[in-house]
Structure 1
Amino acid sequence: MTLRLVVVDDHPVVRDGLRGMLGTQPDFEIVGEAAGGLEALTVVEAVVPDVVLTDLRMPEPSGGTLIRLLRERVPSVRVLVLTTHDTDSDVLPAVEAGAIGYLLKDAPREELFRAVRAAARGETVLAPSVAALLLERVRPKPTLTRARLSARELDVLALIAEGRTNREAAAELFISEATVKTHLLHIYAKLEVPDRASAVAAAYRRGILER
């Protein structure tokens, strides 16, 4: 099956290079190209390709806006981003707008060929740096749990929560009062609080201590 492609980039040299590279594959056919967003919308609506390879930063509409419009006007089209930019401000809007793939322009040609074929099949293709960025954004942020405090810090915190003084806590744990103060400083830093009362309140609120 021949895959029909449209190349969108505001640099003629890049378009020429992509056309020449993609043209080496017998199952690829370049059916259109565009130098900006408005032209891309017109071309894609006219030829209805399988895959659009597009840069992000070019004459408007561009980036996520262009991808969203392409998907709205030609729902069957798969949009594969091919760009030099892999920052949050570029990647996230593109993916949220419906891009099925995101590659960087320094990708090896064989990787690009595989990405085009995968995109046509509806498979997501991401450059490693982009995949790592997205994973970091969706991964739940760690919250402070009992495991983040040492066993001795938990002991000190529990005694403080019971109303013990530093001296009383030291005596019960068979450590010096200075050591108790050191543990408290570590607890304050980990809980991001200024004093013992705030530490106890935060510990109960976060489930580190049980009432």
Structure 2
Amino acid sequence: MSVSGSLVTVVIADDHPFFRDGVKRALDNSGHIQVVGEAGDGRQALEMIRAEQPVVALVDYQMPELNGIDVVHAVIRDHLPTRVILLSAFTDSAVVFKSLEEGAAGYLAKDTPRGEIVDAVLRVAKGQTVVPAELAGGLADQIRLRAKSNTPVLSDRERQVLAAFARGLSIPQTSAELFLGVATIKTYAQRLYEKLGVSDRAAAVAEAMRRGLID
């Protein structure tokens, strides 16, 4: 594991340079953390993690090339010592639970105050798991629900997107109907695919029908 003296080494991966810069400044200025690399997409992030083997990697949940979950899977598959914290604008409790279930060491909202991100990195470096405090109750609900059933828990918006797909609407058409941006619909669609274990709209509708989520 890469360590610089007593400093916790970190790689930051996000496709927005402005966000990366702000987080890097906060981590470097903490006096306890050293950022040893930055990446703008998932594939570059994984290459950097392999090369540097930082203690912690802060990885955007959605990035070009490989997404955050893909990076987590690769880190685990390759037996790398790095612990991955996922960052996202979306903090749906089901998505957070799934991320931890897949092997992430933590999950934070991208608007988390920089001081709290510093604290999260230090806690994860010590072997702890971090999630937004406001999701603690939601995660407990997810654990109880998943213990009772294998049926995924969908948010109201995810159900609206799924219903649109079931009517044969495309992502742009769904975007227009729900008055949401195409990128936002794509995000909800990706979350649906992950929860249902599929990779496209048709398969999502078929799997949702099989599980009784839609008629």
TM-score class, shorter-chain normalisation, is: 0.5 to 0.7
CA distance in 2, matches of 1:100, 1:130: 15
SS in structure 2 at match of 1:13: helix
Pairing partner for 2:135 from 130, 145, 166: 130
Are the counterparts in 2 of residues 64 and 96 from structure 1 also a CA contact under 8 Å? no
Distance 1:16 1:74, change over 3 A: farther
Contact kept, 8 Å, 2:94 with 2:139, in 1: the verdict is: no
Q: 2:64 aligns with which of 59, 65, 77?
A: 59
Indicate conservation of the 8 Å contact 1:7/1:32, yes or no. Answer: yes
Structure with higher Rg: it is 1
Q: Deviations over 1:119-177 (max 9, x none)?
A: 00110111023323221111259x9xxxxxxxxxxxxxxxxxxxxxxxxxxxxxxxxxx
Letter in 2 for 1:66: V
Kindly indicate whether residue 83 of structure 2 is the aligned counterpart of residue 78 of structure 1: yes
2:53 pairs with 1:48: yes
How far, CA to CA, are the matches of 2:76 and 2:24 in structure 1? 23
For the pair 1:139 / 2:134, whether they are aligned, the reply is no
Distance 1:94 1:84 in 2: 14
Q: Which amino acid aligns with 1:81?
A: L
1-structure distance, mates of 2:108, 2:134? 9
Q: How far apart are 1:79 and its partner, in Å? A: 0.6
Shift of 1:93: 3.3
2:37 is equivalent to residue 32 of structure 1: yes
- The residue number in structure 1 matching 2:165 is none
Residue of 92, 97, 103 corresponding to 2:102: 97
2:12/2:35 contact within 8 Å kept? yes
Name the SS for the 1:33 alignment partner: strand
Q: Distance in 2 between matches of 1:4 and 1:28?
A: 6
Deviation of 1:26 after TM superposition, in Å, equals: 1.3
1:10 aligns with 2:15: yes
Relative to 1, partners in 2 of residues 1:15 and 1:33: Cα closer, same or farther, differing over 3 Å? same
Secondary structure of the residue that 1:4 maps to in structure 2?
Answer: strand
How far off its partner does 1:9 sit? 0.3
Superposed CA RMSD in Å reads 2.0
1:156-204 per-residue CA deviation (whole Å, 9 max, x = no partner) reads xxxxxxxxxxxxxxxxxxxxxxxxxxxxxxxxxxxxxxxxxxxxxxxxx
How many residues align? The count is: 142
Structure 1's consecutive aligned runs of 4 or more residues displaced over 4 angstroms after TM superposition are none
Q: Percent identity?
A: 35
Q: 1:88 to 1:111 in 2, by over 3 A?
A: closer
- Given the superposition, is the C-alpha separation of residues 89 and 58 from structure 1 closer, same or farther in structure 2, using an over 3 Å criterion? farther
Segments of structure 1 that go 5 or more residues without pairing to the other structure are 144-211
Q: Aligned partners of 2:145, 2:22: CA distance in 1, in Å?
A: 41
- CA gap of 1:48–1:74, structure 2 versus 1, over 3 A, is farther
Taking the aligned partners of 1:32 and 1:70, their CA distance within structure 2 comes to: 16
